[in-house]
């Protein structure tokens, strides 16, 4: 029988729900897993919201003070799905208290804030992962496999775009995501950090950037009036990779009709792959073989594809929530010291993304090319 691991979630919103769903569905796809998670507690700033989330998600108890989680002997793992300003302190405290930590992206508001988190993980020797769940999309893993196998040859270009309409309504209320002191940044940390991590995952380290940012909605409604928006609504950037590839990055929350449009394309000397998260079961591939010279649509559900056979027969597609299930499965294997391929983002990967996010903001502010500090 697998060991039962007590899990606490810091946060009570939609991402907390995604992690709780992963705990429930994990054993369904991985009956051989060394451990399964049991949701013990929910923590949130607002006690009423934390209680409501606990009841909805099936947690046994709730608290408005995250420190109480570390006094709970049943809690072995902390999933930090709180706002960006409470990523660092609770995660470091949990690691020092002997808990494994899965912290949502961005790992921290800045690289300077993320660096002590990496040190804490190294010193604690506990499993510590950053929640870049899009690494666990089967089509993304197939793209990575093609790159590593040399099917594309030398990679020349990485082009990526992350668009949604989440910031479009100027009457949407002011929240923590609109305040630099709490969020660290706007779409750079919220959307572009995903793109940056995928760029690192698929192509390699980013060494220099240029960027421009815009804030289109300057104030938003708040109790007593309007409050200023101190983060960016959109960013456009160029990327330079250690291996010589060039890249572009475009992220915006001001795109009518776009809901979760994360797309990328890799061009190499022998082939191309292209992906769109709104069609997450598909990967477009071009090898240059035979008479068919265009991109071919590959439905990534076959048994020899990533995660093939774990869920449904070929052609029966997966969804967004499955990325969290597979992320949790790898986290469990890390906590158990099990073998097998590990593709999830570590805290060091989270720090690498934060360094590029910082560089993008600096490049936009200073109007110049900015080198990304080496690890």
- β-bridge mates for residue 4, sequence order: 36
For residues 166 and 247, membership in a common domain is answered with yes
Residues 43 and 143 in one domain: no
Task: For residue 40, give the CATH number of its domain.
Answer: 3.40.50.720
| Residue 254: band (very low, low, confident or very high) from pLDDT cuts 50, 70, 90 | very high
State whether 225 and 243 are in the same domain.
yes
Same domain (yes/no): 190, 298 = yes
Whether the predicted pLDDT of 288 surpasses 80: no
The answer to whether the beta carbons of residues 197 and 105 sit under 8 Å apart is yes
- The pLDDT tens digits of the residues spanning 191-219 come to 999 999 999 999 999 999 999 999 999 99
The pLDDT of residue 360 is above 90: yes
Q: What is the mean pLDDT of residues 169-179?
A: 97
Q: 171-202: buried (b, 16+ CB within 10 Å) or exposed (e) per residue? A: eeebeebbbbebbbbbbbbbbbbbbbbbbbbb
In which band, very low, low, confident or very high, does the pLDDT at 291 lie, cut at 50, 70 and 90?
A: low
Rounded to whole angstroms, the Cα distance separating 351 from 117 reads 9
Specify whether 148 is located in the same domain as 273.
yes
Position 374 confidence tier, pLDDT thresholds 50, 70, 90: confident
pLDDT band at 361 (very low <50, low <70, confident <90, very high): very high
**In CATH, what number is assigned to the domain containing residue 357?**
3.30.360.10
Domain range for residue 67? 3-134
Is the confidence at residue 289, as pLDDT, over 90?
Answer: no
Structure-token pair, residue 227: 């409050």
Residue 289: inside a domain: yes
End-to-end CA distance of the chain: 41
pLDDT in tens, 297-355: 999 999 999 998 899 999 999 999 999 999 999 999 999 988 888 999 999 999 999 99
Q: Is residue 89 part of a domain?
A: yes
- Both 100 and 39 in one domain: the answer is yes
CA distance 112 to 129: 18
- Neighbouring residues of 263: CB distance < 8 A, sequence distance ≥ 6: 160, 161, 162, 274, 275, 276, 277
Question: Can you tell me which residue has the tokens 């990523």?
Answer: 87
The pLDDT, as a whole number, for residue 247 is 98
Asked if residue 332 belongs to a domain, the reply is no
Rounded CA gap, 309 and 144, in Å? 19
Q: What is the pLDDT confidence band of residue 282, given thresholds at 50, 70 and 90?
A: very high
Using 50, 70 and 90 to split pLDDT, how confident is the model at 292? low
* Position 293 pLDDT exceeds 80: no
Clarify whether residues 208 and 257 are in a common domain.
yes
pLDDT at 268: 97
pLDDT in the model for residue 375: 82
Structural domains in the chain (count): 2
* Residue at a domain's end among 82, 100, 134: 134
Residues 148 and 202 occupy one common structural domain: yes
- Please give the Cα distance from 203 to 217 (Å, whole number): 34
Banded model confidence at residue 1, pLDDT cuts 50, 70, 90: confident
DSSP state of 2: P
pLDDT tens for each residue of 16-31: 999 999 999 999 999 9
Q: Give the pairing type, strands 234-241 and 206-214.
A: antiparallel
What does the mean pLDDT of the chain come to? Answer: 96
Question: What's the sign of the alpha-carbon dihedral 363, 366, 372, 375?
Answer: negative
Model confidence band, residue 184 (pLDDT cutoffs 50, 70, 90): very high
Looking at the structure, tell me whether residues 36 and 113 fall in a common domain. Answer: yes
Instruction: Note the pLDDT tens digit of each residue in 42-99.
Output: 999 999 999 999 999 999 999 999 999 999 999 999 999 999 999 999 999 999 999 9
Claim to verify: residue 42 and residue 187 sit in the same structural domain: no
Residue 287 has pLDDT above 90, yes or no: no
**pLDDT at residue number 290:** 64
Do residues 104 and 159 share a domain?
no
């Amino acid at each position: 029988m697998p060991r039962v691991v007590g899990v606490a979630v810091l946060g009570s919103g939609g991402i907390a729900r995604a992690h709780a769903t992963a705990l429930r569905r994990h054993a369904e796809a991985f009956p051989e897993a060394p451990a399964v998670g049991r949701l013990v507690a929910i923590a949130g700033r607002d006690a009423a919201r934390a209680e409501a989330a606990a009841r909805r998600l099936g947690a046994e108890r709730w608290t408005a003070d995250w420190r109480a989680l570390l006094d709970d002997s049943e809690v072995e793992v902390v999933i930090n799905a709180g706002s960006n300003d409470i990523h660092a302190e609770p995660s470091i405290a949990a690691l020092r208290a002997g808990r494994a930590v899965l912290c949502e992206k961005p790992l921290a508001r800045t690289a300077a804030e993320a660096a002590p988190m990496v040190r804490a993980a190294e010193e604690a020797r506990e499993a510590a992962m950053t929640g870049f769940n899009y690494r666990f999309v089967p089509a993304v893993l197939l793209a990575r496999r093609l790159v590593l196998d040399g099917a594309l040859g030398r990679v020349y270009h990485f082009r990526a775009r992350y668009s949604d309409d989440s910031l479009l309504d100027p009457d949407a209320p002011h929240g923590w995501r609109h305040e630099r002191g709490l969020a660290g940044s706007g779409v750079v940390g919220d959307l572009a950090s995903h793109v940056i991590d995928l760029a690192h995952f698929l192509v390699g380290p980013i060494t220099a950037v240029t960027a421009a940012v815009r804030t289109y909605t300057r104030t938003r409604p708040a109790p007593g009036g309007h409050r200023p928006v101190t983060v960016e609504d959109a960013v456009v950037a160029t990327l330079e990779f250690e291996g010589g590839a060039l890249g572009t990055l475009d992220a915006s929350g001001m795109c009518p009709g776009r809901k979760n449009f994360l797309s990328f394309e890799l061009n190499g000397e022998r082939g191309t792959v292209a992906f769109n998260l709104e069609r997450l079961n598909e990967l477009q591939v071009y090898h240059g073989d035979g008479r068919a010279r265009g991109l071919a649509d590959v439905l990534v559900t076959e048994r020899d594809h990533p995660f093939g056979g774990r869920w449904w027969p070929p052609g029966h597609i997966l969804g967004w929530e499955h990325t969290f299930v597979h992320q949790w499965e790898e986290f469990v294997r890390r906590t158990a010291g099990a073998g097998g391929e590990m593709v999830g983002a570590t805290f060091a990967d989270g720090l690498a993304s934060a360094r590029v996010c910082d560089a993008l903001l600096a490049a936009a502010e200073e109007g110049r090319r900015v080198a990304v500090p080496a690890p």
